[in-house]
Amino acid sequence: MKSQADVVVIGGGVIGCSVLYHLTKIGRRDVVLIERSELTSGSTWHAAGGMHTLNSDPNISKLQEYTIKLYKEIEELSGQSCGIHLTGGLFMATDKARSEWLRAAQANARMLGMDKHFISMKEAKELFPLVDTSHFMTALYDPLEGHVDPSGVTQAYAKAARKQGAEVYLRNRVLETNARADGGWDVVTEQGTIHANVLVNAAGLWAREVGLMAGVYLPVLAMEHQYLITEAMPEVAALDRELLHFIDFTGEAYIRQERQGLLLGTYEQACVPWSKDKTPWGFGHELLQPDLDRIAPSLEVAFKHIPAIAKAGIKNVINGPFTFAPDGNPLIGPVPGLRNYWVAVGVMAGFSQGGGVGLALAEWIDQGEPGSDIFAMDVARLGAWANRAYTHDKVKENYARRFSIVFPNEELPAARPLKTTAIYGKLAAEGAVFGAAYGLEHALWFSPEGPGDRERPTYRRSNAFGPTGEEVRAVREGVGLLEISNYGKHSVRGPGARAFLDRMLAGKIPEEGRIALLPMLSPKGRIIGDFTVACLAPEDFLIVGSLGAERYHLRWFWKHLPESGVLWESLCHKLDGLSVAGPKARELLSRVVEQDLSSEAFPFLSIARMSVGMAPAIVGRISFTGELGYEIYVEPQYLLHLYETLRRAGADLGLRLFGSRALSALRLEKSFGAWAREFTPDWNAFEAGLGRFVHLGNDKGDFIGRAAATEQKAAGAKRRLVTLTVDTKDIDAIGDEPVWHNGEIVGVTTSGGYGHRVQRSIALAYVPTPLARDGERFEVVVLGEKYPATLSTKALWDPSGSRMRV
Ligand SMILES: Cc1cc2nc3c(=O)[nH]c(=O)nc-3n(C[C@H](O)[C@H](O)[C@H](O)COP(=O)(O)OP(=O)(O)OC[C@H]3O[C@@H](n4cnc5c(N)ncnc54)[C@H](O)[C@@H]3O)c2cc1C
C-alpha cells in the first residue's frame, strides 16, 4: 500500500465505490479506497437493488435520475455488468390522500423533465397482470425504474475508477484515523499507515465506528429489513416479459420479479433496530434471523392485492441491516469542526441515490461546493443534539413511516419535546401548537381551543387557518408578540471582525448601531447565506440567520477564519428572543424601556443594548412582518421576565401572541424571501432580488463570490423571484410546484400560503425574466391541479415599505 494519497475513501460498499469513481470522473487521480474485507461487505451485500426517482426534494430526485442513467455508463467503462433491469414501475394508491400525493409527485416530476404518467386500471392490469385492480384508485407509471445487481454495480464503479487511476486496497481494515497538524489525516490500517489530504468516511454499517475514530458521533442507526423471494410461480412463468416494479403504499411493500417468482420487501410498523450500540467488526455476509410475524400485516395486504402471492411458496427470506439518518436522507459533506474530513453515510437507498451522492460529494471536494442545493443531504443539517437516543427514536419513526404521507403541515412526534425555552410552558398554556426545528420547539399558532389542541394533517387549509388569520390581522392592526429564539444567532468580534465580515459577506458592513441585510455568496456566486448583520460596537457584530443552518454556516465561517483576531461564536442557544410587531409596537416597547424609541432617535434598522424591564437586552428595530417592529434578544435566563414584562405592558393594547404560521403569511404578503426556500445555492443574488444588497463598488473589498457576482450582474438575471396570487379556494401552494405559462412549464414556486390580510393565496416563484411583468398570467400546479395565477412585481401589502419605517 502506498503511504500518501490525495483522497482516501474508507469503505468499499456501493457508496464508497461511487465516490471513488466520481473523484476520478472529475479528474482526481491520486485517490485510494480501503476496504476491510472484499467489496460489498456491508449492507450492499444484502440489497435488493431496487431503484426509482421518486423523492419529495426535487434536487434529490434529479440525483436519483442521474444515478439510474449512470449504470449504462459505468457498465461500458468497466466492462462489468450491472445487471440492469429497467422494467419501469407502478405506484398504486388505494385512497384519495395517496392519489393526491401521486398527482403532486407526477406534476413535479414533469417539471424536472421526467416522464411519469397516470394510466388506467385496465392498463395497470396489462402491465402487471397479477394485481387485483379492484382495490386501487390510481396508478402512476414511471418508465425509469427497475433494479440492478448490487454486487455488479459496486464492482463496476470500482473497476471504472481503477481504469481512471484509482487504487483499491482490500482485506485491510482501517484501525485509526488521526488528524495531522498539516490538516491531513493519518489513516492507520492493518497494512500500514497512509497519509491522506482528504478523508472520506463511507463505511456504511460501520460509519459510526469509523466516525468515532476521529471523535465524531455520526447520527445513523441500522434497521433490520426483510424481503422474501417466492418459489417459481406459474402466473409469472407464463409472462412473456419481465414484470414491472410495484409499490403498494397501503401494504407498505415493494414487489418485483425475481427469476420466475416475486420479491416482496416491506417497511413494517413493528420495525427493529440492529446493533444499536456497536456494529461488530466480524459481521459480513451473514443474514439476520427472519421474522415473518413482523411483516404479516404487509403480507396480508399483498395477498389481497396480488392474490397469486398467497398461493406461492416462500423460497427465501432475507433479513439484513442498513443504516438511516434521523430523517431518512443521507448524511454527506465535510463534517463541521474537522478539517478535510468528509462523510457519505446513512444512504438508505444506495441504488437510487449512490451515483448522485458520489457526484455531489466529488464535486464538493474538488470545487468547494456541490453542484446544486443539497442541504437536505448535508451532514451539517443536524447538530450535536442529534445524539444516540434521538437518532434511535427518529430512525424508528422514519422507517415505520417510509410509505406514509408526510403532509405539508405535519409535525412528526418522535423525540419531542427535546429543546425548549423558558416560556415553553407559558405558550403551551396559551394554546400554542408547536413545531420542532433543529430540535427546538417553537409555536406554530395558538389554538382558541386552548392547551393540547392539535393541527390536523392535510394538504388543504387546516384547523390552523382561522386562528392564524386572527394572528395576522392582530399584527397588521395592533401589536403581536412572537418568540424568535428559533432564529440562528452568531457573534463575531475581535480586532479583525469587520475586515473578516467584509470578506465573507457581499454587502456593506453596517456602522455601529446599525443593521444591514447581507447575502453571503459562494465562490460561484450562489446564495449560501442571508443574514441581518448588526454592529453593536466597532468590532462587535450580532449576525442573525436561520437556526436550521447553524452548523452549515459555522462550517463555512470556521473554514475561512483567520489565525487570530476574530472570534466567531454561535449564540443559537445562548440568546433567546421575542419580537413585537405591529402599529402599536413602539407604544408597547416604550412602556418598558428608558430609551427614546421615536423614529428620529431610533430609526428603522437601528440596534442598541438597553434594559427591557429588568432584562439586559439587545433591541433591533427590524421585523420580518413588514410592520413597525422590534427584535429583542436576551440571555435565556431573562426570557421569562422579558415575556411577562411585555405581556403585562401590552395587555391594554390588545397584544396578541402569534406563531410562525402567521409570520410566514405576513412575510408572503410582503414578498420577503426566506432562507432555504427562496434563498438557496440554486440561485444567485440577482435572480433572488438580493442584487441591491450586493456591493460591487471600489469601497468594498474582494469578498468571496465577487468575481462571479460581477459577471452575473453584467449578464443580467435570466430568472427572477416574483410574487404570484393564485386563484384557489381551499388550498395553497407550498413550494416546489411547477409554474406554467402558455402550455409550458417555465418556473417553480419556492413558498406559498394564504395572505390573511390581503385575502389572497400567494406563491413566491422563480420565472424567466422576460415574463416577470405585472399582470402576466400563469398557472400554478397545486396537488396536481392547475390554478390560474397573476404576477405582481410589488409586494401585495405596503409595497413602499412605509409601515415598517414609520
Ligand atoms: C435487505 C436489504 C434490502 C435492500 N434493498 C435495497 C434496494 O432495493 N434498493 C436500494 O437502493 N437499497 C437497498 N438497500 C439499502 C442498500 O443496501 C444501502 O443503501 C447501501 O448498500 C449502502 O451502501 P454503503 O456503501 O453506504 O454501505 P455498506 O454496504 O455497509 O458498505 C460499507 C463498507 O465499508 C467497509 N468498512 C467499514 N468499516 C471499515 C473500516 N474500518 N475499514 C475498511 N473498510 C470498512 C465495509 O466492509 C463495507 O464494505 C437494502 C438493504 C438491505 C439490508
Q: In 777-790, which positions are buried (b, 16+ CB within 10 angstroms) versus exposed (e)?
A: ebbbbbbbeebebe
Tell me how far the alpha carbon of residue 328 lies from the centroid of ligand 1, in angstroms.
15
Site to probe by mutation for ligand 1, drawn from 206, 283, 294 as the one with most ligand atoms within 8 Å of Cβ, is 206
Tell the residue nearest (CA) to atom 52 of ligand 1.
47
Residue 561 in contact with residue 496, Cβ under 8 Å?
no
pLDDT tens-place string over residues 298-324? 999 999 999 999 999 999 999 999 999
Using one digit for the tens of pLDDT, what is the confidence trace for 574-632?
999 999 999 999 999 999 999 999 999 999 999 999 999 999 999 999 999 999 999 99
At 529 the pLDDT is 97
Q: Is the pLDDT of residue 74 over 90?
A: yes
Of all residues in the chain, what percent carry a pLDDT higher than 90? 99
Q: How many CB atoms lie within 10 A of CB 51?
A: 27
Average pLDDT of the residues of the chain:
97
pLDDT at residue 800 in the model: 97
Distance 388 CA to ligand 1 centre (A): 20
Helix (H, G, I), strand (E, B) or coil at 469: helix
∠ CA 269-273-278 to the nearest 5 degrees? 175
At residue 294, the pLDDT reads: 95
Nearest alpha carbon, ligand 1 atom 37: 203
Mean pLDDT of 468-477: 98
**What is the rounded CA–CA span in Å between residue 245 and residue 52?**
9
Q: Is the pLDDT of residue 480 over 90?
A: yes
- What is the 3 state secondary structure string of 595-609? CCCCCCCCCCCEEEE
Q: Are 264 and 255 in contact (CB under 8 A)?
A: yes
Q: How confident is the model at residue 259 (pLDDT cuts 50, 70, 90)?
A: very high
Q: Which atom of ligand 1 is nearest to the CA of 351?
A: 11
Ligand 1 atom closest to Cα of residue 40:
49
Task: For residue 134, count other CB atoms closer than 10 A to its CB.
Answer: 8
Q: How far is the CA of 161 from the centre of ligand 1 (A)?
A: 19
**Which residue, chain included where needed, has cell 441515490?**
353
pLDDT digits (tens, 9 = 90+) for 179-227: 999 999 999 999 999 999 999 999 999 999 999 999 999 999 999 999 9
The pLDDT of residue 325 is 98
Residue 376 has pLDDT above 90, yes or no: yes
SS (H, E, C) 640-693: HHHHHHHHHHHHHHCCEECCHHHHHHHHHHCCCCCECCCECCCCECCCCCCHHH
C-alpha cell belonging to residue 752: 406559498
pLDDT at 729 over 90: yes
Measure Cα distances from 8 to 21, 23, 367, 432 in Å: 12, 11, 17, 50
Q: Indicate whether 286 pLDDT > 90.
A: no
The answer for residues whose C-beta is within 8 angstroms of residue 85's C-beta and 6 or more apart is 146, 147, 148, 242
pLDDT confidence tier of residue 285, bands split at 50, 70 and 90: confident
| Atom of ligand 1 lying closest to residue 320 CA | 53
pLDDT value of residue 56: 85
Q: Whose CA is nearest to atom 4 of ligand 1?
A: 47
Name the DSSP letter for residue 583: T
Q: How many helices and strands, by DSSP H and E, does the chain display?
A: 21, 38
pLDDT at 428 exceeding the cut of 90: yes
pLDDT at 673: 98
| Partner residues linked to 435 by β-bridges | 442
Nearest CA to ligand 1 atom 25: 13
Distance between Cα 164 and ligand 1 center (Å): 24
> Treating both helix axes as pointing N-terminal to C-terminal, what angle do 350-367 and 150-163 enclose, rounded to 10 degrees?
20
Position 502 scores a pLDDT of 97
- pLDDT for the residue 455: 97
Pair 143, 4: CB distance under 8 Å: no
Residues with CB under 6 A from ligand 1: 10-16, 34-37, 41-44, 46-51, 173-174, 202-206, 210, 225, 227, 318, 320-322, 347-352
Give the distance (Å) from ligand 1 centre to CA of residue 676.
30
Are the C-beta atoms of 361 and 19 separated by less than 8 Å? Answer: yes
